[in-house]
Amino acid sequence: MSVYSPVLDQVTVPSDLRGLSKDQLRQLADELRQETINAVSVTGGHLGAGLGVVELTVALHYVFDTPRDRLIWDVGHQAYPHKVLTGRRDRIRTLRQGGGLSGFTKRSESEYDPFGAAHSSTSISAGLGMAVARDLSGGDNRVICVIGDGAMSAGMAYEAMNNAGARKGQLLVILNDNDMSIAPPVGALSRRLAKLVSSKSYQFLRGFGRGLAERLPRPLRRAAARAEEYTRGMLMGGTLFEELGFLYLGPIDGHDFDHLLPVLENIRDNGIGGPVLLHVVTEKGHGYAPAARSADKLHAVSRFDVVTGAQSKAQAAAPSYTKVFAEALVREAEADDRVVAITGAMPAGTGLDLFEKRFPDRMFDVGIAEQHAVTFAAGLATEGYKPFCAIYSTFLQRAYDQVIHDVALQKLPVRFAIDRAGLVGADGATHAGAFDMAYLGCLPGFVIMAAADEAELMHMVATAAAYDKGPIAFRYPRGEGVGVALPERGQVLPIGKGRVLREGKDVALLSVGTRLQPALAAAERLQMRGISCTVADARFVKPFDRDLVRRLAQSHHMLITLEEGSIGGFGSQVLDYLANNDLMRAGLSVRTLMLPDAFQDHDDPQKQYSDAGLNAADIVRIVETSLAKTA
């Protein structure tokens, strides 16, 4: 149910917003903040970052001509208020629900989302591409990139700024600094200077002075330019950005329209040549008391009570895989002081906050910098340490060259803990761990494990800690385990060996990862229909148990592989082995069950697995259909 919002009710799209008076913007922002809080209380999702940019969102759509002017949000989870103002208010309570709005910006969802940004630090590169396309086409629209919530910690942002700084075309980068990690607190002097430097008179004088300087001998010309840049740098900060070729403005208060609007209007109207970086300081979770009291400013929440902020979380039947991994790693670190942990801005998401409490000197959060994280781990491995690099499957994609060149090629024993392997429900395609078995499985010398349950995960942590011959990875899903009993400490598994949990004679179900439970359930149902099944857990994607695969292929009418990954993964490796070792005999039917060759939209996880054909009922149907065809 929507909140009382007489001003917001007048705004369906940003052109409506521009018809309001400036005096109405404060009330609009208050109503927009309450609407955002109310909507996320129903759906869950990212809350704190969006609340911090409410005023900035209003100001940008008020000053600029969106969607003609391109507005890119980075990371896209800041964009819930933006969605409300851009024709999606009537669907805002479908956020992250099946068939509803995405939790991130999405090109197919709205013309006001010119670029999808669910992974961070991409906006400046994309915005620069749009700006160059505009200039090549003779256009005059503006490009605005809002980058924040930690996204400026990634090297890609600086690569893009370095490239953009060499051009003269318009590009506005707004640094949403929501933890004051870059500059000192906003003061009256910095606000006045930002307004002054963006003003028409200053820009005229700056241009006039540069014109005069061009007439000077080259050494004096360079000295004059540096004097101007460093004088502003000393007064305002931002010398780094100036060195990259940007005009730096700020910092200014991102919650005060009296500060935001004049500077944005000056940037829009005063013909500032070249790229501009506007430093805006905001407070994550601003305007919502429960967020102010929360350590993470309610970054991501489940459904919650608006008044108290108390979240509605179902009672877990088993510990999460993430927690099991973290506790198992702590045990290994207690036994071996060479064990260290690395993550990229996700200490809580990967469970390494637990490791940090126990071993603060052996845990390294490197920020949103996965490439650096992997090569940093490689450096540690060269010196005899045992680095565990804990990164979500979908984020590890960002460091693929480093995985190949810096780790695999040099056979360095870096341990990769791959969280969020498989489908991830409400986070959708951008965060689904669909490809790691394929993109790691093709690399020589890589050992890859997939945990079928939380006890297996503990064994795989122990196995990785003990393995020193080269890179090793283990993957595990989001969410809670299946409730198996946990050992005090994991056992080291023999490399490349699977296990058989149920013996049969007709059909062999060979699972890797957490599709083992649906395989066991399917075997029970098939047994009731007179079909005898063997169920095996491969444990290893690479090297997989060739002796086990050979036996299953030779002693059953059908062999089915199951995995929570894309084509090119475990099933493809098994098929290659069967085909090249003359095991595809007459009378043997082989099926590979995997995620579909498509990006699956956000939805309930069970619905996603049903759509993928990986639940017990799907396995039963495929077995019966296939056997009927071969009868």
In this prediction, residue 135 carries a pLDDT of: 96
Q: State the Cα–Cα distance between residues 150 and 348, nearest whole angstrom.
A: 15
User: What is the tens place of the pLDDT at every residue in 78-116?
Assistant: 999 999 999 999 999 999 999 999 999 999 999 999 999
Amino acid at 260: L
- Predicted confidence band at 230 (pLDDT cuts at 50, 70, 90)? very low
- Give the model's confidence band at 463: pLDDT under 50 very low, under 70 low, under 90 confident, else very high: very high
Q: Which of 86-90, 133-137, 292-296, 312-316 has the lowest mean pLDDT?
A: 312-316
Residue 619 — very low, low, confident or very high, per pLDDT cuts 50/70/90?
A: very high
Three-state SS across 141-199? CCEEEEEECCHHHCHHHHHHHHHHCCCCCCEEEEEEECCCCCCCCCCHHHHHHHHHHCC
User: Is the peptide bond between 11 and the residue preceding it cis, with omega within 30 degrees of 0?
Assistant: no
Q: Could you tell me what percent of the chain has a pLDDT over 70?
A: 90
Q: Give yes or no for a contact between 91 and 100, defined as CB atoms under 8 angstroms apart.
A: yes
Tens digit of each residue's pLDDT (9 = 90 or more) over 502-540: 999 999 999 999 999 999 999 999 999 999 999 999 999
pLDDT of residue 566: 97
3-state secondary structure of 497: coil
Least Cα distance to 80 among 132, 44, 133 occurs for 44
Residue 286 identity (one-letter amino acid): H
- Average pLDDT over all residues of the chain: 91
| pLDDT over threshold 60, residue 494 | yes
Q: Name the nearest CA neighbour of 338 among 390, 367, 366, 377.
A: 377
Q: Given pLDDT bands bounded at 50, 70 and 90, which one contains residue 202? A: low
Instruction: Please state, for a pLDDT cut of 90, what percent of the chain lies above it.
Output: 81
pLDDT, mean of residues 602-616: 95
Per-residue pLDDT at 200 exceeds 90: no
Q: Return the DSSP state at 47.
A: -
Give tens-digit pLDDT for 16-65.
Answer: 999 999 999 999 999 999 999 999 999 999 999 999 999 999 999 999 99
Which ranges constitute the DSSP H helices of 393-448?
393-396, 400-402, 436-441
The set of catalytic residues is 284, 370, 398
- The DSSP string of 275-308 is EEEEEEE--TTTT-HHHHHSTTTT-EE-SB-TTT
Say whether pLDDT at 205 is over 60.
Answer: no
Amino acid at 587: G
Which residues have CB under 8 Å from 405's CB, separation 6+?
Answer: none
Predicted confidence band at 190 (pLDDT cuts at 50, 70, 90)? very low
List helix spans (H) across 346-453.
352-358, 370-382, 393-396, 400-402, 436-441
- pLDDT bin (cut points 50, 70, 90) of residue 564 is very high
403: its two tokens:
């995985």
Rounded to an integer, what distance in angstroms lies between the CA atom of residue 240 and that of residue 81?
Answer: 31
Per-residue model confidence (pLDDT) at position 315: 80
Please return the burial class of 530, using the count of CB atoms within 10 Å of its CB with bins 0-12, 13-18 and 19+: exposed
* Rounded average pLDDT over 383-389: 98
Predicted pLDDT of residue 272? 82
pLDDT score of 395 more than 50: yes
More confident: 489 or 229: 489
User: Taking 50 as the threshold, does the pLDDT of residue 237 lie above it?
Assistant: yes
The pLDDT value recorded for residue 2 is 59
Q: Which of 331, 336, 328, 326 is nearest to 384 (CA)?
A: 336
For residues 376-384, average pLDDT: 98
Q: Is the peptide bond before 251 cis (omega within 30 degrees of 0)?
A: yes
- CA neighbours closer than 13 Å in the CB half-sphere of residue 415: 24
- The whole-number pLDDT of residue 54 equals 98
- pLDDT band, very low/low/confident/very high, at 201 (cuts 50, 70, 90): low
Residue 188 confidence class, pLDDT cut points 50, 70, 90: very low
Neighbours of 372 (CB within 10 A): 18
Q: How confident is the model at residue 153 (pLDDT cuts 50, 70, 90)?
A: confident
pLDDT of residue 313: 80
Model confidence at 178, in pLDDT bands (50, 70, 90)?
Answer: confident
Q: In whole angstroms, what is the distance from residue 80 CA to residue 39 CA?
A: 9
Dump pLDDT digits (tens) for 318-370: 999 999 999 999 999 999 999 999 999 999 999 999 999 999 999 999 999 99
441: pLDDT strictly greater than 90: yes
